[in-house]
């Protein structure tokens, strides 16, 4: 880990001590850095609860999404462990963690999945913000990211670009076809291939699109070679 220091690179640390260093040293430091960054800045609160089999409690993971360095960042904030997890319990957990450190004045949206208890949490938090801060949360569905995926997909379909089928065909052309891949690498002198496209998470297809654009000349060259061989 510390190759730049003759002293530090000899450091050894057991499992228990590593756990304490991370839990009581590194974690509070990074959380403090995040709190300073979000001071007086708008943010989105994301949460999800699931069963922690080891502790036999419901683990409520709290994540904040915010604008940083010209991009949207999603940062883990903390976790709460619950027995009952009804709407009142969730709101109480947010009050004990997020409100005490970050405050609710700059909270703009609540991102979650769709169960009724989560929508009840949204309603209760909405009333709290209206009463104490005189503003409301944005409501564009349970998860804003899904709305962005669907909006981008709809835009692509309206434009008539048919990117999903095109990029999917580029990927499948050489997927699990060794003979075809060998001919492609010989004819084009490249070993780059199209990436698999995700048809329901469009915001995550940036690298897929960039790779597809880069490979268009190689694919065109390969097709011409195939056509000549058939002739």
List the chain domain ranges.
Answer: 1-37, 42-142, 145-230
Over residues 2-8, the mean pLDDT reads 82
What number of CA atoms fall less than 13 Å from residue 207's CA on the CB side?
Answer: 5
User: Token match 């195939």: residue?
Assistant: 226
Strand 57-68 versus strand 43-52 pairing type: antiparallel
Q: How confident is the model at residue 216, as a pLDDT?
A: 93
pLDDT digits (tens, 9 = 90+) for 116-129: 788 899 999 999 99
Cβ proximity of 212 and 194 under 8 Å: yes
Provide the CA 69 distance to its chain's centre, in angstroms: 17
Whether the per-residue pLDDT at 1 is higher than 80: the answer is no
β 43-52/107-111 pair status: parallel
Summarize the confidence of residues 57-76 as an average pLDDT: 89
d(CA 198, CA 208): 9
Q: How confident is the model at residue 231 (pLDDT cuts 50, 70, 90)?
A: very low
pLDDT in the model for residue 143: 73
pLDDT of 16 reads: 92
According to CATH, the topology of domain 42-142 is Nucleotidyltransferase; domain 5 (3.30.420)
More confident residue, 195 or 148: 195
- Pick from 165, 187, 183: nearest CA to 174: 183
- For residue 97, report the phi and psi dihedrals to the nearest 5 degrees: -105, -65
- Residue 200: the pLDDT is 76
Q: Let me know: does 144 contact 111? Beta carbons within 8 Å.
A: yes
Q: Quick check: helix, strand or coil at residue 50?
A: strand
pTM above 0.95, yes or no: no
How confident is the model over 105-119, as pLDDT tens digits? 999 988 888 777 888
Using CA atoms in the order 80, 85, 86, 91, what is the torsion angle rounded to 10 degrees?
Answer: 0
Q: What is the pLDDT of residue 205?
A: 86
């Amino acid at each position: 880990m510390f190759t730049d220091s003759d002293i530090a690179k000899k450091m050894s640390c057991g499992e228990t001590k590593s756990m304490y260093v991370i839990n009581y040293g590194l974690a509070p430091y990074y959380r403090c850095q995040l709190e300073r960054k979000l001071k007086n800045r708008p943010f989105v609160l994301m949460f999800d609860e699931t069963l922690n089999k080891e502790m036999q409690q419901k683990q409520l993971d709290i994540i904040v999404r915010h604008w940083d360095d010209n991009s949207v960042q999603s940062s883990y904030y903390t976790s709460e462990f619950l027995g009952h997890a009804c709407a009142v319990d969730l709101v109480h957990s947010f009050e004990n963690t997020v409100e005490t450190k970050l405050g609710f004045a700059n909270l703009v949206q609540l991102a979650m999945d769709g169960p009724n208890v989560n929508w009840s949490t949204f309603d209760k938090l909405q009333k709290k913000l209206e009463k104490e801060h005189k503003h409301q949360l944005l409501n564009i569905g349970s998860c804003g990211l899904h709305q962005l995926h669907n909006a981008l997909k709809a835009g692509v379909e309206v434009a008539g670009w048919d990117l999903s089928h095109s990029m999917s065909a580029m990927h499948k052309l050489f997927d699990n076809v060794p003979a075809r891949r060998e001919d492609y690498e010989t004819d084009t002198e490249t070993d780059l291939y199209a990436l698999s496209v995700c048809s329901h998470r469009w915001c995550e297809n940036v690298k897929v699109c960039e790779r597809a654009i880069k490979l268009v000349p190689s694919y065109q060259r390969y097709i011409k070679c195939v056509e000549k061989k058939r002739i």
